[in-house]
Amino acid sequence: MIGTSARLLRLLSLLAARPSWTCGELAGRMEVTDRTVRRDIAKLRELGYGIESDPGPFGGYRLGQGTRALPLILDEEESLAVAVALREAALSGILGSDQAALSALLKLQQGLPRRIADRLSAMDAAFVHTSRSDERHIAPGMLLELATLCRRSERTRLSYRTLGGKATVRDVDPYRLVRTGHRWYFVARDVTKGEWRTFRADRVTQVQPTGQVVDIADPPDPALLVARGLTKGVYPHTMTIRVPLPMDRALQLVPPTIGTHRPDGPDATIVEIGGSTADSLARYLLGLGVPLQVLSPDDVRQALLRRTRELYEGNGGGQP
């Protein structure tokens, strides 16, 4: 049995995660009775939390607009300083866990008083983010909005610009944000097609929440979905190789952002990798520095043999 204080914090966390909860849903998540939930709600109201409720058997509880607060006392300047630091950590990955920094930033911004939130928005307009030459800029506000939708599991009308520049609008069920390299990817289910898709977050132009909370059943591995999209959907060439390493070591050799992996017995792994040309894939294989077998296609195998022969002959060797 958890203590009352810990239970109240847990209740606050649940209320902040979704637009609305029924008493039964809260009781089920917290493993307590409906009576305990109602008593805890009353206690939170006594402490100054604006918790609203709808009457009737299908009514629910929700945090009132602008009344969310954290059980942490920060003055105005401290709140701004923490928000800016978390934003930098989320965008740069300097802490090694940009998802954790983004989640903390989301919770902090939900708890900021209106005047401080307005100051933070004004600072957003003044900030300039310098990007790498191959990195498109994404506004921190959009990143935070996508994270909010994922936390709430709220169906959303997504305005998106494809690689070719075509503007599209579709209804999606948000699930996760995935950062790989210098880019963020938004993982969501396309409602019309009934398929899981990955979207480059920097190509999202607008989101319109519908207010409909959806139940995400049988979700995919978001990191694996992004990796497959990168290896198969972006590059015109895909090769399949076999490396004599167990799965954990193969993942260290070829990161999941580069290829998709499946075990081939306890001591070998099959890896699929995408590239722009057969020759570029052959150069990548030479850099791995391990014995390997190219299973397909043949043009990558021939390119690897040709480059190996050139290296051998260029260093004083005869015919290999």
pLDDT value of position 96: 44
- Mean predicted confidence (pLDDT) in 263-272: 92
pLDDT value of position 111: 66
Q: How confident is the model at residue 58 (pLDDT cuts 50, 70, 90)?
A: low
Q: Which of 151, 191, 297 is nearest to 237 (CA)?
A: 297
pLDDT value of position 313: 85
Question: For residue 95, is pLDDT > 50?
Answer: no
Report the alpha-carbon distance of residue 190 to residue 170 in Å, rounded.
Answer: 7
Classify each residue of 206-232 as buried b or exposed e, where b means 16 or more C-beta atoms within 10 Å of its C-beta.
ebeeeeeebeeeeeeebbebbbbbbbe
Q: Which of 35-49, 85-99, 280-294 shows the lowest per-residue confidence on average (mean pLDDT)? A: 85-99
Question: For residue 9, is pLDDT > 80?
Answer: no
- Mean predicted confidence (pLDDT) in 265-284: 89
Q: Which of 3-7, 79-83, 90-94, 173-177 shows the lowest per-residue confidence on average (mean pLDDT)? A: 90-94
Tens digit of each residue's pLDDT (9 = 90 or more) over 237-261: 889 999 999 999 998 898 876 788 8
Q: What is the mean pLDDT of the chain?
A: 79
Q: Which residue has the higher pLDDT, 206 or 81?
A: 206
pLDDT value of position 3: 61
Q: How confident is the model at residue 129 (pLDDT cuts 50, 70, 90)?
A: low
Q: Which residue has the higher pLDDT, 37 or 15?
A: 37
- Mean predicted confidence (pLDDT) in 57-65: 73
Classify each residue of 72-108 as buried b or exposed e, where b means 16 or more C-beta atoms within 10 Å of its C-beta.
eebeeeebbebbbebbbbbbeeeeeebeebbbbbbbb
Largest CA distance in the chain: 87
pLDDT value of position 54: 78
pLDDT value of position 100: 62
Q: Which residue has the higher pLDDT, 198 or 49?
A: 198
Element (H, E) at 102: helix 98-111
- Residue 66: DSSP 8-state: T
pLDDT value of position 209: 92
Classify each residue of 187-203 as buried b or exposed e, where b means 16 or more C-beta atoms within 10 Å of its C-beta.
bbbebeeeebbbbbbbb
295 Rama sector, left if φ>0, alpha if ψ -120 to 50, beta otherwise: alpha
Q: Which residue type does 113 have? A: P
Tens digit of each residue's pLDDT (9 = 90 or more) over 168-217: 999 999 999 887 766 788 999 999 999 999 898 889 999 999 989 898 88
Report the alpha-carbon distance of residue 273 to residue 232 in Å, rounded.
Answer: 8
Strands (E), the chain: 51-53, 61-63, 154-161, 167-180, 183-190, 195-200, 204-213, 237-243, 259-263, 269-275, 293-296
- Residue 163: DSSP 8-state: T
CB contact at 8 A, 82 and 70: no
Report the alpha-carbon distance of residue 66 to residue 110 in Å, rounded.
Answer: 8
φ, ψ at 157 (rounded to 5°) = -90, 115
Half-sphere exposure of 274 (CA within 13 A, CB side): 15
Q: How confident is the model at residue 163 (pLDDT cuts 50, 70, 90)?
A: confident
Q: How confident is the model at residue 53 (pLDDT cuts 50, 70, 90)?
A: confident
Q: Which of 210, 310, 198 is nearest to 257 (CA)?
A: 198
Q: How confident is the model at residue 61 (pLDDT cuts 50, 70, 90)?
A: confident
pLDDT value of position 62: 83
- Mean predicted confidence (pLDDT) in 154-175: 91
Question: For residue 16, is pLDDT > 70?
Answer: yes
CB contact at 8 A, 243 and 290: yes
DSSP-based three-state secondary structure for 104? helix
User: Which domains can be identified in the chain, with CATH numbers?
Assistant: 4-63 (1.10.10.10), 76-126 (no CATH), 153-220 (2.30.30.520), 225-314 (3.30.70)
Question: For residue 94, is pLDDT > 60?
Answer: no
Report the alpha-carbon distance of residue 119 to residue 294 in Å, rounded.
Answer: 56
Tens digit of each residue's pLDDT (9 = 90 or more) over 114-123: 676 777 666 6
